[in-house]
């Protein structure tokens, strides 16, 4: 007894000494299932005994690793009697005659000596085998061989009883875990049958469900390069400084005095350096404007999500979080990109969630019900995620749907999985919930489950197995997308190719979807509508509902990074400003309709349907054919678990059965396959709503159609209008289903680039925006024109690569083309205006010189006001004139030349003009006088012609170009 346990612990055969929080529950359960079903009759008799010893050590190692207390390593007769395992030292244990306490105790004491004698005789025998032999040594070798055989037999015998002693110790120690106790009993009996050369009733010949054949996947370092590259673009070197000054001052005015409800507060938080620069802008900075603002825009865009975490300090967010303090957790999703760039394995994402600044704290706040339950729900999700892993080559890897297909329906796998999950919860996670009626926290009741549904209640057990297998398979189906995306990334890296940003976006989207699916499954596991009853009463809210803001924000963060990389800066900024809409998960909005694609993407049965429909004919490639066969098998198994007697569902099952039969037939009957596939497609197109509800639980009527119908009725719209709107909703939903499930366009990029989708989406938004603006407001949440214009101005500056691009950005911010007509519709109108054109008249260049006839370009910028409410008549006070640069740029040969340096005083040109616009066009006649400007000509050789004093009087034909409206009043 004294040295036995030390020998066992340190033997090389033991695979695990201590369980970890991240133990691969599913993998360990599958390992034990393989060992339980292992057929030793097919093994070489010379190595059979050693292999049994190795396998028995693995079994002991796994069970010991999950125990949360002191094991009964030193069994006593009293402890076995106390646990009702025996009545006295000579009574059979588990009905096995050669297993009594007396025999076990005797053999266990004999084991250390037998082990030493075996090793000594083995060493002697091996030494004699390796020398040159004569008659004397041959005789010694024969004696050594006989002794080794005798000692080996004694060793194998005592080793069996010593291991049985330990297994019975585990059986006794797991008295509170009936599922694991049941499996240990099976192993005790299996090894007893093998020891006594009886029929091993637990073995299966050529058992095929090994973990290696079930191919778990996705582990190792998936570090990828920084996803944001090329955010900075060369900005133009020169712009028209004067117009820039006016534009920036206009933005500055808005930024310096934002109203509390204005989105400018959030914009200043997202772009702090850029907006601070603009707020402090002075006119004398204009020449350095582009070089300076370039740096600020680049810096702010590269830190957009980092800055977004400060949004909770703005007025709008403060109110939101004060009313819903639990929403603070959603802000952690903004950090998903920097966090995911550090992980080596997708399962680490769940450790990240579990250890986040809020969840780790909230999970202990049992007095704050909502926070406490959110914290524990994420802790439960982490436990489930880790449980669905296997250990392969020292790496944790997620299980696959193949794995679940092989093991998930096994009753013994269910016992092991639930039993191990209970041990992990006891040792590490301590998941608890505050329910509706119970005051204190309610611990997950695995023990009650195991006592209420014992291993002997086989019918009840099978019901539980079916439910659990269904939920775990849904999770496993999400891991396969992650696997495929990871392969694409690895393939690119191994080929020294750039990793496509779309692949990274898809990979991260897959991880988020996996987390979301696990939270949904956690909801199902806790619900009293299911088969497990792990808590005494239902929660007051669903886990899915409370974690939805986090996952929506995570999806938004992922999309924002993609937009930034693709240089859609305004879209990225607007999406970031609209993050609060992710938090209002209880209020119906059009976003619920537009995001239905996310529901389709995580519905495992829909994904299986989609994979089948992508094969228009029977694949000729064997790998693809095997994939199709497996997919059909999984879907058939999933549909068999659904209790529905509708004609549509019966037809669906029959169509899948027909396709399955054709694909698995001996004859390649492609014609019948095409016919059956078309029948399936027609059924889906015609009855997609019913099929969605039946096989995936997505109730479009309850989720979308009925709320909209209620809104319309409450607003007093007639039946014709209501039916018309509902038809637009139906058209959109059916189009998304058709494109994603039937046509296989599962990615957001493919979906949104489809013309039919664009039309359906546009019609939906237009109609709902017109009839129900309160639910459509979330589509375009930012209504302030100044905010939108400012965002697009920053976007255009960031994208500009030339002076012309910058001019376009400034022109777009100033006023749109055709804005000259606005002033005609106003009673009073004041603006910053330009009247470029041709001016003829007299010019006095310096005192004492004669007046000269002159005609040339003019491009004055100044203040304009409509005069006396007379149509077409106004007064213009020019302040500067940039005619020389404009005239220089009119020559196409000068397009690539750089303007010479000049200053503000070179172009100052005050004056006064009476303006008249006689027609409905921008053509305007100006009559008046003007001083300067000093800069008159920019020559082709890049020199300038200047006059210190210049004064002119004349009549001009110009174009009316309003730049910024300062004041207007309707007629």
The percent of residues above 70 in pLDDT, for the chain, comes to: 70
Do the domain assignments include residue 99? yes
Give the pLDDT of residue 76: 67
Closest CA to 866 of 818, 898, 897, 820: 820
814 confidence band (pLDDT: 50, 70, 90): low
Q: Are 526 and 539 in contact (CB under 8 A)?
A: yes
Question: Are 681 and 745 in the same domain?
Answer: yes
Centroid of chain to Cα 479: 12
Strands 961-970 and 935-938 turn out to be unpaired
Across the range 601-613, mean pLDDT stands at 82
Q: Evaluate if residue 218 carries a pLDDT over 60.
A: no
Tokens 């409410």 — which residue?
869
Sign of the alpha-carbon dihedral angle for 105, 106, 111, 116: positive
The percent of residues above 90 in pLDDT, for the chain, comes to: 3
Measured from the Cβ of residue 16, the count of other Cβ atoms closer than 10 Å reads 17
Name the strand (E) or helix (H) holding 935. Answer: strand 935-938
Across the range 562-589, mean pLDDT stands at 67
Give the pLDDT of residue 812: 62
Write down which residue in 742, 775, 808 finishes a domain: 775
Q: Evaluate if residue 351 carries a pLDDT over 60.
A: yes
Write down which residue in 195, 220, 241 finishes a domain: 195
Question: Are 846 and 945 in the same domain?
Answer: yes
Give the pLDDT of residue 14: 38
Across the range 496-515, mean pLDDT stands at 78
Do the domain assignments include residue 84? yes
| Top-confidence range, 227-236, 508-517, 525-534 | 508-517
Question: Are 27 and 136 in the same domain?
Answer: yes
Do the domain assignments include residue 380? no
For residue 280, what are the CA distances in angstroms to 345, 794, 814, 925, 945? 46, 16, 20, 38, 35
Name the strand (E) or helix (H) holding 600. Answer: helix 596-601
Question: Are 841 and 743 in the same domain?
Answer: no
Across the range 542-565, mean pLDDT stands at 77
Nearby residues of 684 by Cβ (< 8 Å), 6 or more positions away: 609, 613, 691, 737, 741, 742
Name the strand (E) or helix (H) holding 927. Answer: strand 923-931
* Domain enclosing residue 39, as ranges: 4-195
- Name the phi and psi angles at 877, rounded to 5: -115, 95
* Pure H helices in 641-718: 647-663, 670-696, 700, 706-714
Give the pLDDT of residue 252: 67
Q: How far is 812 from 250, CA to CA, in rounded Å?
A: 13
Tokens 């973990």 — which residue?
211
Nearby residues of 674 by Cβ (< 8 Å), 6 or more positions away: 616, 617
927 confidence band (pLDDT: 50, 70, 90): very high
Question: Are 872 and 756 in the same domain?
Answer: no
Question: Are 857 and 766 in the same domain?
Answer: no
Q: Evaluate if residue 865 carries a pLDDT over 80.
A: yes
Across the range 666-687, mean pLDDT stands at 82
Closest CA to 5 of 79, 93, 76, 72: 72
Q: Evaluate if residue 17 carries a pLDDT over 80.
A: no
Across the range 422-448, mean pLDDT stands at 79
Q: How far is 86 from 95, CA to CA, in rounded Å?
A: 10
Residue/partner pairs of 247-255 with CB below 8 Å, 24 or more apart: 247/793, 247/810, 247/813, 247/814, 247/964, 248/278, 248/281, 248/289, 249/281, 250/813, 250/964, 251/278, 251/790, 251/793, 251/813, 252/278, 252/279, 252/281, 254/786, 254/790, 255/279
Give the pLDDT of residue 905: 66
Average per-residue pLDDT in the chain?
Answer: 74
Closest CA to 160 of 201, 96, 122, 108: 108
Question: Are 57 and 145 in the same domain?
Answer: yes
Q: Evaluate if residue 205 carries a pLDDT over 60.
A: no
Q: How far is 675 from 542, CA to CA, in rounded Å?
A: 43
Sign of the alpha-carbon dihedral angle for 210, 213, 218, 220: positive
Please give the structure tokens belonging to residue 491. 């393939």
Closest CA to 964 of 308, 288, 252: 252
Q: Evaluate if residue 938 carries a pLDDT over 50.
A: no
Q: Evaluate if residue 875 carries a pLDDT over 90.
A: yes
Quick one: residue 94, left, alpha or beta (phi over 0 = left, psi -120 to 50 = alpha)?
Answer: left
Q: Evaluate if residue 238 carries a pLDDT over 50.
A: no
Question: Are 671 and 745 in the same domain?
Answer: yes
pLDDT tens across 109-128, in order?
888 888 888 888 888 878 77
Q: How far is 817 from 796, CA to CA, in rounded Å?
A: 17
Write down which residue in 723, 747, 775 finishes a domain: 775
Give the pLDDT of residue 928: 93
Across the range 651-663, mean pLDDT stands at 89
Do the domain assignments include residue 465? no
Do the domain assignments include residue 732? yes
166 confidence band (pLDDT: 50, 70, 90): confident
Residue/partner pairs of 302-307 with CB below 8 Å, 24 or more apart: 302/228, 302/231, 304/270, 304/560, 304/564, 304/572, 304/573, 304/576, 305/334, 305/335, 305/337, 305/557, 305/560, 305/561, 305/576, 306/334, 306/338, 307/269, 307/270, 307/271, 307/272
Across the range 769-789, mean pLDDT stands at 56
Question: Are 50 and 179 in the same domain?
Answer: yes
Residue/partner pairs of 685-692 with CB below 8 Å, 24 or more apart: 685/734, 685/738, 685/742, 687/648, 688/734, 688/737, 688/738, 688/741, 689/733, 690/646, 690/648, 690/649, 691/648, 691/649, 691/652, 692/603, 692/606, 692/737
Select the more confidently predicted residue: 188 or 771: 188
Select the more confidently predicted residue: 724 or 849: 724
- Name the phi and psi angles at 966, rounded to 5: -95, -35
- Give the start-end residues of each E strand in 553-641: none
Q: Evaluate if residue 925 carries a pLDDT over 90.
A: yes
Q: Evaluate if residue 667 carries a pLDDT over 70.
A: no
Counted domains in the chain:
3
Do the domain assignments include residue 155? yes
Helix (H/G/I), strand (E/B), else coil: 873: strand
Of the listed ranges 4-8, 348-352, 690-694, the least confidently predicted one is 4-8
Question: Are 748 and 824 in the same domain?
Answer: no
Do the domain assignments include residue 157? yes
Give the pLDDT of residue 228: 20
Question: Are 848 and 763 in the same domain?
Answer: no
Question: Are 765 and 622 in the same domain?
Answer: yes
Q: Evaluate if residue 780 carries a pLDDT over 60.
A: no
Across the range 144-168, mean pLDDT stands at 86
Give the pLDDT of residue 786: 63
pLDDT tens across 79-106, in order?
676 666 776 777 778 777 788 878 888 8
Do the domain assignments include residue 450? no
Across the range 785-800, mean pLDDT stands at 69
Of the listed ranges 173-182, 369-378, 690-699, 949-958, the least confidently predicted one is 369-378
Across the range 583-595, mean pLDDT stands at 59
Q: Are 241 and 287 in contact (CB under 8 A)?
A: yes
């Amino acid at each position: 007894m004294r040295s036995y346990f030390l020998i066992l612990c340190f033997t090389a055969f033991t695979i695990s000494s201590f369980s970890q929080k991240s133990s691969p529950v599913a993998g360990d359960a599958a390992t034990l299932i393989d060992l339980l079903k292992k057929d030793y009759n097919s093994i070489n008799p010379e190595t059979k005994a050693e292999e049994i010893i190795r396998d028995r050590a693995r079994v002991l190692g796994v069970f010991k690793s999950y125990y949360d207390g002191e094991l009964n390593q030193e069994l006593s007769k009293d402890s076995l009697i106390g646990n009702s395992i025996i009545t006295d030292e000579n009574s059979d244990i588990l009905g096995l005659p050669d297993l009594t306490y007396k025999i076990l105790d005797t053999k266990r004491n004999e084991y250390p000596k037998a082990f030493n004698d075996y090793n000594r005789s083995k060493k002697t025998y091996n030494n004699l085998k390796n020398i040159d032999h004569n008659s004397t040594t041959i005789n010694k070798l024969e004696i050594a061989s006989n002794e080794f055989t005798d000692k080996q037999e004694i060793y194998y015998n005592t080793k069996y009883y010593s291991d049985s002693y330990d297994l019975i110790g585990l059986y006794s120690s797991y008295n509170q875990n009936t599922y694991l106790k049941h499996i240990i009993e099976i192993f005790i009996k299996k090894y007893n049958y093998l020891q006594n050369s009886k029929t091993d009733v637990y073995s299966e010949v050529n058992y095929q469900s090994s973990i290696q054949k079930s191919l778990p996947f996705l582990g190792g370092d998936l570090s990828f390069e920084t996803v944001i590259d090329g955010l900075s673009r060369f900005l133009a070197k020169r712009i028209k400084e004067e117009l820039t000054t006016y534009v920036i001052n206009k933005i500055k005015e808005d930024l310096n005095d934002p109203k509390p409800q204005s989105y400018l507060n959030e914009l200043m938080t997202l772009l702090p350096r850029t907006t601070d620069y603009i707020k402090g802008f002075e006119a004398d900075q204009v020449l350095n404007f582009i070089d300076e603002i370039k740096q600020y825009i680049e810096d702010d865009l590269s830190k957009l999500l980092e800055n977004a975490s400060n949004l909770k300090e703005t007025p709008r967010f403060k109110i939101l979080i004060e009313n819903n303090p639990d929403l603070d957790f959603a802000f952690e999703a903004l950090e998903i990109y920097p966090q995911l760039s550090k992980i080596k394995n997708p399962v680490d994402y769940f450790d990240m969630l579990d250890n986040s600044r809020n969840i780790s704290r909230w999970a202990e706040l049992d007095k704050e019900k909502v926070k406490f339950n959110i914290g524990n729900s994420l802790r439960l999700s982490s436990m489930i995620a880790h449980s669905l892993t296997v250990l392969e080559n020292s790496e944790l890897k997620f299980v696959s749907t193949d794995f679940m297909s092989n093991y998930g329906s096994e009753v013994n796998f269910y016992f092991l999985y639930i039993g191990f999950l209970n041990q992990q919860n006891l040792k590490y996670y301590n998941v608890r919930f505050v329910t509706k009626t119970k005051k204190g926290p309610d611990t997950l009741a695995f023990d009650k489950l195991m006592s209420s549904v014992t291993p002997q209640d086989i019918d009840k057990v099978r019901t539980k197995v079916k439910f659990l297998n269904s939920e775990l398979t849904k999770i496993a189906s999400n891991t396969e997308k992650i696997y495929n995306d990871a392969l694409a990334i690895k393939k690119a890296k191994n080929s020294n190719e750039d990793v496509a940003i779309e692949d990274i976006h898809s990979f991260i989207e897959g991880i988020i979807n996996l987390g979301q699916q696990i939270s949904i499954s956690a909801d199902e596991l806790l619900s009293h509508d299911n088969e497990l009853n792990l808590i005494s009463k239902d929660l007051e809210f669903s886990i899915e509902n409370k974690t939805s803001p986090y996952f929506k924000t995570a999806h938004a963060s992922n999309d924002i990074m993609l937009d930034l990389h693709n240089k859609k800066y305004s879209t990225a900024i607007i999406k970031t400003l609209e993050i609060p809409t992710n938090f209002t998960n209880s209020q119906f909005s059009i976003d619920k309709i537009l995001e239905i694609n996310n529901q389709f993407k995580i519905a495992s049965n829909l994904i299986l349907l989609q994979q089948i429909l992508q094969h228009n004919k029977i694949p000729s490639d064997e790998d693809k054919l095997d994939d199709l066969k497996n997919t059909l098998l999984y879907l058939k198994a999933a549909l068999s678990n659904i209790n529905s007697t509708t004609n549509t569902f019966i037809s669906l099952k029959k169509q899948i059965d027909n396709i399955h039969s054709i694909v698995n037939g001996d004859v390649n009957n492609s014609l019948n396959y095409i016919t059956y596939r078309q029948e399936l497609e027609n059924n889906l197109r015609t009855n997609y709503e019913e099929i969605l509800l039946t096989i995936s639980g997505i109730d479009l009527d309850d989720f979308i159609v009925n709320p909209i119908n209620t809104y319309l009725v409450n607003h007093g719209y007639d039946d014709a209008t209501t039916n018309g709107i509902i038809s637009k909703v139906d058209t959109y939903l059916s189009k998304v289903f058709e494109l994603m499930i039937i046509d296989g366009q599962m990615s957001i990029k493919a979906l949104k680039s489809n013309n039919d989708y664009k039309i359906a989406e546009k019609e939906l938004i237009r109609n709902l925006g017109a009839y129900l603006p309160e639910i459509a407001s979330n589509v375009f949440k930012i209504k302030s024109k100044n905010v939108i214009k400012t965002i697009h101005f920053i976007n255009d500056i960031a994208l500009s690569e030339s002076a012309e691009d910058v001019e376009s950005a400034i022109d777009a911010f100033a006023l749109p083309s055709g804005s000259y007509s606005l002033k005609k519709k106003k009673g009073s109108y004041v603006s910053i205006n330009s009247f470029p054109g041709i001016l003829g008249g007299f010019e006095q260049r310096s005192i004492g010189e004669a007046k000269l006839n002159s005609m040339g370009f003019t491009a004055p910028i100044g203040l304009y006001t409509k005069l006396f409410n007379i149509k077409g008549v106004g007064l213009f006070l020019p302040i500067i004139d940039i005619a020389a640069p404009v005239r220089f740029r009119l020559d196409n040969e000068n397009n690539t030349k750089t303007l010479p340096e000049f200053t503000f005083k070179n172009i100052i040109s005050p004056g006064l003009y009476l303006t008249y616009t006689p027609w409905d066009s921008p053509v305007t006649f100006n009559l008046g006088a003007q001083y300067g400007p000093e800069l008159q000509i920019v020559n082709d050789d890049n020199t300038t012609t200047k006059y210190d004093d210049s004064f002119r009087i004349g009549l001009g034909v110009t174009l009316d170009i309003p730049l910024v409206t300062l004041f207007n009043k309707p007629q």
